[in-house]
Amino acid sequence: MEAACEAGQTPAMTIDRFSYLLGLVYDAAVAPERWPRCFEEICGVFAANYVSLIVRTGSAGTGGLIYSGADDRRHVANHHPCPGLSPFTGLPLDKVVTIGDLLTEAEWRASAYYTDWCASQKVFHVMAVDFAADDQSVYGFRLTRPEDAPAFSTSDRQLCERLVPHLKRALNVYQKVHQNRQIGSLYSQAMAQMMVGVMVLDEAGLVLDVNRIAKGMLEQADGLKITGNQLTANYANDNHKLQRMVREMLRAPSRLGVVEAMSISRPSGKASWSLVVRALSPDEWAEGKRRPTVAVFVRDPEEASQPPLRLAQQLFDLTPAETSLAIQLANGNTLEEAAEALNIRRNTARAHLRSIFSKTGVRRQTELVRMFLNSAVLLGSRPVSE
């Protein structure tokens, strides 16, 4: 990541300004789009014309990727054109150095790295440090000034040494937050692929969040709805039982780990919704309102599964025709209904079924359906956008 600003004398650093800078650093840890603003502030603090964060994976000697963002909209290539020529390659970790620590001025001016890259970017004075994050990713932090600006001083070096540990912690926080978001997204997609609606209620029993599947269920207004930001059932008896279950789950921690279930009747006459309610673990550090407290899971017994044909073939070693028949049977169709849906003769369907039995080792259609629905094939369905 990179930022640019006017170079000159380093402004006096006050506690308030340093505190403000650290606030920007930690804000960027949870919202990466804020890194450019953070680096613009670092630019000003060090009177630098560029501040760069080079992201590497593995050892400190490998090439890197530079993200750019400048307040004057100057464009700097994301991929460094000549990382192998840099005199800052392979620095000892956590040691702040300047170009003067590595080369004489004559050597620096004569180097290909300076003539081919730095001179055109008005980069002459450079201060650098490499550090490793918890996941062993190695980052290069670079500050630069043009030739007509003063060289980086001892006080600049000391300030950089104080800042780098915070950059390291912020990047560790970012990695953990990003990892948790990825895992959460994976779990959410798995729930959607299994056609499970999820609704999260707060400490007052009000709806805090719903996934896409649950939203579609609620839009049907067929037995379940949201009234006054509260999950309710159409029929009085169902609603009374649902509200009682939610109230009991709100009595955390005494109800923690307890799960209850019920069926919700549907005015349309379709099979009842299958609903499970469970209490969530309370967050001792989040005493405020609107905390996730109760989870409600809903499934439609009539919802047809549509697993990827190719994955089902691979999992059960079936032909495309056999796989199509197995999916029809898994969705509750009889052999006759499946044959009609696939536009094949009944005898052909029977021949496919015998082959399926032989390949999967099951003996009855009910066993086939159970094996198919309990397999991992549904998890390979197309990801659902939440």
In a domain, 373, yes or no: yes
Q: What CATH number does the domain containing 208 carry?
A: 3.30.450.20
Asked if residue 109 and residue 26 are part of one domain, the reply reads yes
Asked if residue 117 and residue 19 are part of one domain, the reply reads yes
Asked if residue 284 and residue 202 are part of one domain, the reply reads yes
In a domain, 241, yes or no: yes
pLDDT of residue 61: 44
Q: Which two tokens stand for residue 375?
A: 């397999």
Rounded-to-integer distance, Cα 383 and Cα 386, Å: 9
Rounded-to-integer distance, Cα 102 and Cα 108, Å: 9
Q: What CATH number does the domain containing 168 carry?
A: 3.30.450.80
Beta bridge partners of 230: 206, 227
Which carries the bigger pLDDT value, residue 65 or residue 361? 361
Q: Is 102 exposed, middle or buried (0-12, 13-18, 19+ CB in 10 A)?
A: middle
Q: Which two tokens stand for residue 362?
A: 């099951």
Q: Write down the pTM of the prediction.
A: 0.63
In a domain, 224, yes or no: yes
In a domain, 188, yes or no: no
Asked if residue 28 and residue 94 are part of one domain, the reply reads yes
Q: Is 254 exposed, middle or buried (0-12, 13-18, 19+ CB in 10 A)?
A: exposed
Which carries the bigger pLDDT value, residue 47 or residue 366? 47
Rounded-to-integer distance, Cα 352 and Cα 366, Å: 16
pLDDT digits 0-9 by tens, 19-46:
999 999 999 888 888 888 888 889 889 9
In a domain, 291, yes or no: yes
* DSSP letter string, 176-203: HHHHHHHHHHHHHHHHHHTTEEEEEE-T
For the chain, what is the domain count?
3
Alpha carbons within 13 A on the beta-carbon side of 384: 23
Cβ-contact 14, 45 below 8 angstroms: no
Q: Is 15 exposed, middle or buried (0-12, 13-18, 19+ CB in 10 A)?
A: exposed
The percent of residues in the chain predicted with pLDDT above 70, rounded, is: 78
Asked if residue 93 and residue 55 are part of one domain, the reply reads yes
In a domain, 69, yes or no: yes
In a domain, 172, yes or no: yes
In a domain, 187, yes or no: no
Rounded-to-integer distance, Cα 74 and Cα 61, Å: 28
Q: What CATH number does the domain containing 318 carry?
A: 1.10.10.10
pLDDT digits 0-9 by tens, 333-342:
889 988 999 9
Provide the domain limits for residue 369.
Answer: 309-380
Among 299, 321, 337, the domain-final residue is: 299
pLDDT band for 286, please (50, 70, 90 cuts): low
Asked if residue 26 and residue 119 are part of one domain, the reply reads yes
